[in-house]
Amino acid sequence: MALGTVTVKSKDGGNGVFTSSEKQFLYIGAAGKNAGTVRYIDQTTDLDDVLGIPSSKMKTTIDWARNNAGTNWTAIAMPLAAAGGWEDAFDIAMAQNIVCEAVVVTDPVTEQSEIDAMNAAVTSAENQYGRYLHLFAVTDVINATTQSWEDMIAAFDALQDGVAAPSVSLVPQVFSGWLGAYCGRLCHEDQSIADTPMRTASGAIVGISTLPSDKDGIAFNMSHAKALNDARGTVPQIYADYDGIYCSDGMTLATEASDFAVIENCRVVNVVKREVRLLAIKKIGDRSMNSTPASVAAHETYFMRPMIDRSKSVGDQPGTVKKPQDGDVSVVWLTRTSVAIPLLIRPYNCPKAIAATVELELTNEV
């Protein structure tokens, strides 16, 4: 007869908190101080001390970003000695596993080849590290002494024409600081990653009340905004007889009719991809995940977790996505050792164009 023994072990069910990269952006660009270092920034940071006293596009961008973000906003900066070295800084950030949702290159692009390089960089980060990022590029601000809005629109249109890069946004710098204002708005704690930056309930852009003029003294107006938006640019916009300057839809360089033409769709899909990847890693070589009906059903629920977690409403604000339905996650065994897991994410509808009709009722009532 064997001796009695008792063994107690613990089991990791993968139910802990995911590391969150949402709403933390990495800024790369030329600055007057601390070139070649990594700097962590929040609302209390002295930007002159971290990025140098001289003005720079990076310092301007980050200053506008934090003014348009919430109290708990944080960011990461990688200052460069001169413009043009963002690729090396990007590679260093990936090798050092700097946690961020997006990368913002603050020095303007002037050639389409630069956008192609940015698209290659984010694609490489996904292929090499399993990191799902978005990259924001920017054009130079209009020269109000030599350029008209038509000049700027034509240059922007030519720069983005033909580019297919859903993980890249090209932002027309309508005024100095617009890139930062847009990025800060995306990181505001009162705004979900599933919200469009045009959400007026998030408030007006902080720091500007009048849009700039071109060399002819013509102020940026909604016809200019539409032309740039049609060219896949995110722009400031106004509403007649409504105070404040707001943001248009967050555009990307995705192809026509793409699901990822707007930034909120990219952000929602990326966060689910990050978390599903970690859940999948935990199941490598685990025979509890097998082709039996009970295991398939259990693991369909297991991989639903990111959508379930993000389907919870807070007050009158719905969750990031709708609660998953039966069939939205499938576990399909392709071979004895290879599994495919298609997932379907259901975002909520969002009003971006509202048309109201007012009628009169003129019947003769008694």
Q: What is the pLDDT of residues 68-100, one digit of tens each?
A: 998 999 999 999 999 988 999 999 999 999 999
- The answer to whether position 80 is within a domain reads yes
Domain end among 264, 293, 308 = 264
- The answer to whether position 46 is within a domain reads yes
245 and 303 in a single domain? The answer is no
211 and 325 in a single domain? The answer is no
C-alpha closest to that of 106 among 42, 56, 181, 48: 56
Q: How far is CA 154 from CA 123, 138, 140, in A?
A: 28, 15, 13
320 and 259 in a single domain? The answer is no
250 and 298 in a single domain? The answer is no
253 and 328 in a single domain? The answer is no
Tokens of 307: 């959508």
Distance CA 121, CA 116 (A): 9
- What's the number of domains the chain is made of? 2
Distance CA 84, CA 105 (A): 10
185 and 326 in a single domain? The answer is no
Tokens of 71: 């109290």
- The answer to whether position 277 is within a domain reads no
169 and 306 in a single domain? The answer is no
Convert 249-272 to b/e letters by CB count within 10 Å (16 or more is b). bbbbbbeeeeebbbbbbbbbbbbb
- The answer to whether position 279 is within a domain reads no
54 and 151 in a single domain? The answer is yes
Domain end among 264, 293, 316 = 264
- The answer to whether position 274 is within a domain reads no
120 and 233 in a single domain? The answer is yes
Domain extent at residue 294: 285-366
| Under-70 pLDDT residues of the chain | 1, 366
231 and 138 in a single domain? The answer is yes
302 and 168 in a single domain? The answer is no
- The answer to whether position 192 is within a domain reads yes
- The answer to whether position 16 is within a domain reads no
- The answer to whether position 13 is within a domain reads no
Domain end among 264, 296, 319 = 264
83 and 215 in a single domain? The answer is yes
